Amino acid sequence: MNADKTAGYTAVQIVQRAQLRAEAAIEPDAPATGAPTKSTQIIAIYGKGGIGKSFTLANLSYMMAQLGKKVLLIGCDPKSDTTSLLFGGKACPTIIETSSKKKLAGEAVAIGDVCFKRDGVFAMELGGPEVGRGCGGRGIIHGFETLEKLGFHDWGFDYVLLDFLGDVVCGGFGLPIARDMCQKVIVVGSNDLQSLYVANNVCSAVEYFRKLGGNVGVAGMVINKDDGTGEAAAFARNAGIPVLAAIPAHEDIRRKSASYEIIGRPGTQWAPLFETLATNVAEAPPMRPKPQTQDELLALFSSDAVGRDVVLEPATLVDMVGRDEAVKPSLEVVYEQV
């Protein structure tokens, strides 16, 4: 060890610093790739707002239930719209809103107050604060605390699907990854830069917490509104994660989704797509992703689409104030070296 860098440290401090460096240099273990050890698979789904997470999850959970699985869908988006498609457009009372009302009335929250079902799918919404009146991430934390009081860890589901907004990076929305509350993560994206930017952020979060000793991995990507241009598939390939399904940009899907109609029904045109997705979601192992740099993301698109040919031109003082300014002497005191 360099003597100049250790000057002033005690022998004990030098040893401690060496131990810390050695510990920091140890690579974390690879994520588990076998079957989940827990009987319930808890899967967090992330994606850009409006990319189609709720549409994907409503149809996925419905198909899973029709295949004989016991499924719980939990909306973790402050918009509280995860279950709207499942329930034909009807709003589901949120846990946060319900618990606040029950608390004012001096009553306890019961399962039937916040959890509802349709054709074998159980669903609930965590909810969030009113606009400008609180932090959405804190609302997520409060919602999960309420779920734990209701016995969340004792519920006997085959799958619990958590719908998370991926645009934000605050602690509440990263809770499942940071606290190992799920076994794996799925990202929903499309062939556009912004949705892939969000998907890449989620991969970065997973990798960050892996380095801190976490166990969550990315099981793969669902490409929604796939127009065949291939950018999302290329991102998944570069990030080292599989494509679990590609849902086409089809007018029939758009029209039925807009009218709150479930298309993932057995025996329908789109049933094979969601049956395959259900199987892939269940069987895909958690992978350790390779987050992409900004330049690597941009390289997925043509220069016409992302403006890579633009040259950064430094601004000048004249640009800022509209005139030349005399160079003012610095007031910094400079000492001559002896």
Per residue in 54-90, pLDDT tens?
999 999 999 999 999 999 999 887 777 788 899 988 8
Q: Classify residue 95: in a domain, yes or no.
A: yes
Work out the burial of residue 10: count CB atoms within 10 Å of its CB; fewer than 13 is exposed, 13-18 middle, 19 or more buried: exposed
Closest CA to 225 of 210, 200, 246: 246
DSSP annotation of 94: B
**Whole-number pLDDT of residue 50:** 87
**Whole-number pLDDT of residue 27:** 57
**Whole-number pLDDT of residue 138:** 64
DSSP string, 232-293: HHHHHHHHT--EEEEEE--HHHHHHHHTT-----TTSTTHHHHHHHHHHHHHPPPB---PPP
Q: 160: alpha, beta or left, given left = phi > 0 and alpha = psi -120 to 50? A: beta
pLDDT digits (tens, 9 = 90+) for 192-213: 999 999 999 999 999 999 999 8
Query: Cα–Cα distance between 276 and 282 in angstroms, integer?
Result: 10
Q: Indicate which CATH number applies to the domain containing 58.
A: 3.40.50.300
Question: Given pLDDT bands bounded at 50, 70 and 90, which one contains residue 109?
Answer: confident
Domain that holds residue 169: 41-301
Query: Cα–Cα distance between 153 and 142 in angstroms, integer?
Result: 16
DSSP annotation of 29: P
**103 included as an active-site residue:** no
Average pLDDT over residues 274-280: 96
Closest CA to 256 of 79, 74, 59: 59
Q: Classify residue 333: in a domain, yes or no.
A: no
Choice among 81, 113, 158, 167 that is catalytic: 167
Total domains, the chain = 1
In this structure, of 95-99, 116-120, 199-203, 334-338, the range with the lowest mean pLDDT score is 334-338
Q: Classify residue 249: in a domain, yes or no.
A: yes
Answer whether 266's CB lies under 8 Å from 274's CB.
no
Residues in the chain: 338
Q: Classify residue 6: in a domain, yes or no.
A: no
Beta bridge partners of 161: 43, 73
Q: Classify residue 3: in a domain, yes or no.
A: no
Parallel, antiparallel, or unpaired: how do β-strands 41-47 and 217-226 relate? unpaired
Q: Classify residue 250: in a domain, yes or no.
A: yes
pLDDT digits (tens, 9 = 90+) for 208-232: 999 998 899 999 999 999 999 999 9
**79 included as an active-site residue:** yes
Average pLDDT over residues 27-35: 49
DSSP annotation of 114: H
**Whole-number pLDDT of residue 32:** 45
**48 included as an active-site residue:** yes
On whether the pTM is more than 0.95, the answer is no
